[in-house]
Structure 1
Amino acid sequence: MQRSMCVAVIMALSGCATTPIPAEEADPVPIARLLAYQEALVDGATLIVTRDRGFTGSACNTVFFINGKPAAEIGAGERATFQVLPDKRNIIGVSGAGACSTGLKEREVSIGIGDVARYRISIDATMSMDLSPTAF
């Protein structure tokens, strides 16, 4: 009995994690929530960040950072495109916004001239946020 109850709880919680969405299907972040790294750069690089869709954490935006500077507030099922310096070590990060504040997750990314890198923001059933490379 206890074992079947544990399995049911685990199955219910696993259904609460967010699911990836292709950048092309995600809604663009409204201009008012794009805060930095929007100017085109000569011989620049492009970074596309998409936040998963799903119920978990959907009531709150996430703050996306580039090199410690807030670059956008991204909602569930949204994407933002940024222009960054190529062949430079850029540190990208994500944290919950406002009342949904969470710890900061950071990753290092280096993108070549003219290249495009794609990252996704995901939230699991325990409300742990992650930022990872994606093919979506």
Structure 2
Amino acid sequence: MKQILISLMLFVLYGCATSAVDYDKAKPVPDDRNLLKTDGKFIFTVVRDSGWTGSICYADIYIDDQLAAKLEPSEKVTLRTNENRVMLKVTNSGASMCSHDWGGNYYEAFLELDKHKIFRIHVNNDGKGLQILAGGIYKN
């Protein structure tokens, strides 16, 4: 019975896909969860998908292994760096059910001056936790 309950809880957290959120419709992350504020010349935004899957967990965003922000579903954070190549990582944190260690998902990002890149955080159907993908370029 215990295994069935644990399996059901994991399915609820990770068993279904989430939905992409338009950049303009995503809510800015509150200031207290935007942890890495720099004046770098390379700019990018991370947008977390909407949906209830994994919604009790934060999506922790790391830049070169430094915690940068904690996102809830449908939130975005705009970050800056002085490096044109960064390793982005996403893990989950928060409630005790979020403590399962998926090892995080890494994405090597190549940034360009004057191009505001967008990255997407989602949970897909394979149950491997949060994943980060390139999501396009924002045009002013």
Same fold (TM over 0.5): yes
Distance 1:39 1:65 in 2: 14
1:33 corresponding residue in structure 2: 33
Q: Alignment RMSD, CA only?
A: 1.8
Correspondence 1:91 to 2:93: no
**Counterpart secondary structure, 1:97:** strand
Superposed CA offset, 1:7-64 (max 9, x none): xxxxxxxx9310000111011100000110x2323xx111100000001001111110
- In 2, Cα distance between the equivalents of 1:77 and 1:127? 20
Identity among equivalent pairs (%): 27
Structure 1 unpaired stretches of 5+: 1-14
Unaligned runs of 5+ in 2: 1-14
Task: Work out the CA distance in 1 between the residues paired with 2:42 and 2:85.
Answer: 12
Checking the alignment, whether the CA contact within 8 Å between 1:56 and 1:127 is kept in structure 2 is: no
Give the aligned length.
118
AA aligned to 1:133 is: A
2:56 matched to 1:59? yes
Tell me whether 123-132 or 110-119 shows the greater mean CA deviation: 123-132
Task: For residue 32 of structure 1, give the secondary structure of its aligned residue in structure 2.
Answer: helix
Q: Which residue of structure 2 aligns with residue 12 of structure 1?
A: none
Aligned pair partner of 2:75 in 74, 78, 81: 78
Q: State TM-score, norm by structure 2.
A: 0.77
Runs of 4+ that moved beyond 6 A: none
CA distance in 2, matches of 1:16, 1:70: 26
**Max Rg structure:** 1
Displacement after TM superposition at 1:127 (Å): 5.4
- The answer as to whether partners of 1:51 and 1:121 remain within 8 angstroms in 2 is yes
